Amino acid sequence: MTVLVVGSVALDSVETPFGKADLVIGGSGTFFSASASHLSPVQLVGVVGDDYPMEQLEPLRARGVDMAGLEQMSGNSFRWRGRYRHDLNSAETLETHLGVFSHFSPKIPEQFRRAPFVFLANIDPRLQLDVLRQVERPKLVACDTMNFWIESRRPELLALIEQVDLITLNDGEARQLTDCFNLVKAARWIMERGPSMVIIKKGEHGAFLFKERSIFFAPAYPLENVFDPTGAGDSFAGGFMGYLARTGDLSDDNLRRAVIYGSAMGSFAVEKFSVQRLLEIDRSNIAARVADFRRLVAFEEEVLA
Ligand code: AMP
């Protein structure tokens, strides 16, 4: 099955303790597509300016990302500049320039409107709502957001939350949105407002999937070298949604497997700048990492005598 994503297609400038990258391809829609396309067909909706290096998106197209919904407008592309200090879990946003995103109104191509899986990646909640009005009864709608929108578009974000099945947030965003320090309470606060599932990511400390009656936890893959955390969250979402779209199965067991696929894809994203590592890997790398996850958490319980 197909997954439709609407998100930012950006030029990122990133500084980490290990190096710098200037104006490399990034954005929530780009990372999501680079990740999910390993597992299922992807339809991407977004906008870029006339300064965008379109040829760098070609590897995504070649892997099955349908870009019929990616508009090119005159003006500057969305640009984000961020820095990570030694705590690689939290990005410090130095600059956000919306560029062509500030007057973008997403038009979902006719052939994308029946996508069974829809991911509203991190962009202005007004645009996320606009996309929801154009799709036809998807099997699952998920969304993401960040502090920038929680601060500047709270009413629209709350209206969006009412209409989605699942939201992904990192721990800081969940606390900021709900005003609950405790993450179990934060997830409950969100589920009372609409979504039946909440994923709270804690960077190198793993991710929780909360449902009404169950909680699942997956650790993050213990990488020896984390190079650039940018895009980890979007790549997690790509692995999670891509796996669900591939299997079409929303059972509890399959949702748990999807969280592991999300964690595996997030772990690849952080090994290099931009989408570089996501473009290098293939199914065998993904399968090996998923198998590593199993070994990481499996143990035999021994009853005490
Ligand atoms: P993450 O997965 O959270 O690390 O997402 C990083 C990506 O989000 C970067 O590639 C940025 O271009 C993109 N981004 C940063 N700020 C925003 C924003 N306000 N709206 C949409 N995308 C953003």
305 part of a folded domain:
no
Pick the atom of ligand 1 nearest to 235's CA: 2
What are the angstrom distances between the C-alpha of 272 and each of 7, 65, 183? Answer: 21, 21, 30
72 part of a folded domain:
yes
| Mean pLDDT score, 54-62 | 97
The count of domains in the chain is 1
Is the beta carbon of 234 within 6 A of some atom in ligand 1?
Answer: yes
Closest by Cα among 195, 183, 286, 269 to 233: 269
What are the angstrom distances between the C-alpha of 102 and each of 23, 95, 244? Answer: 19, 15, 32
CA of 302 to the centre of ligand 1 (A): 45
CATH number for 163: 3.40.1190.20
CA of 72 to the centre of ligand 1 (A): 19
Neighbours of 151 (CB within 10 A): 10
Residue 33 tokens, joined: 């597509």
CA of 295 to the centre of ligand 1 (A): 32
Is the beta carbon of 231 within 6 A of some atom in ligand 1?
Answer: yes
Is the beta carbon of 96 within 6 A of some atom in ligand 1?
Answer: yes
Q: What are the tens digits of pLDDT across the range 8-19?
A: 999 999 999 988
Ligand 1 pocket test target in 23, 28, 45, 47 with most atoms within 8 Å of CB: 28
Residue 113: per-residue pLDDT = 98
Residue 91: per-residue pLDDT = 87
CA of 284 to the centre of ligand 1 (A): 28
Cα dihedral across residues 51, 54, 57, 59: positive or negative = negative
Is the beta carbon of 27 within 6 A of some atom in ligand 1?
Answer: yes
Residue with tokens 């509203």: 120
Is the beta carbon of 40 within 6 A of some atom in ligand 1?
Answer: no
| Mean pLDDT score, 210-232 | 95
289 part of a folded domain:
yes
Is the beta carbon of 230 within 6 A of some atom in ligand 1?
Answer: yes
Residue 88: per-residue pLDDT = 82
Confidence of residue 305 (pLDDT cuts 50, 70, 90): confident
C-alpha 126/C-alpha 105 separation (Å) is 9
Q: What are the tens digits of pLDDT across the range 261-278?
A: 999 999 999 999 999 999
Q: Are 104 and 71 in contact (CB under 8 A)?
A: yes
137 part of a folded domain:
yes
Q: What are the tens digits of pLDDT across the range 59-118?
A: 999 999 999 999 999 999 999 999 998 888 888 999 999 999 998 999 999 999 999 999
| Mean pLDDT score, 120-144 | 96
Is the beta carbon of 171 within 6 A of some atom in ligand 1?
Answer: no
CA of 13 to the centre of ligand 1 (A): 11
Is the beta carbon of 189 within 6 A of some atom in ligand 1?
Answer: no
Domain span including residue 163: 3-297
C-alpha 139/C-alpha 184 separation (Å) is 26
304 part of a folded domain:
no
Closest by Cα among 158, 143, 255, 242 to 208: 255
211 part of a folded domain:
yes
Pick the atom of ligand 1 nearest to 233's CA: 2
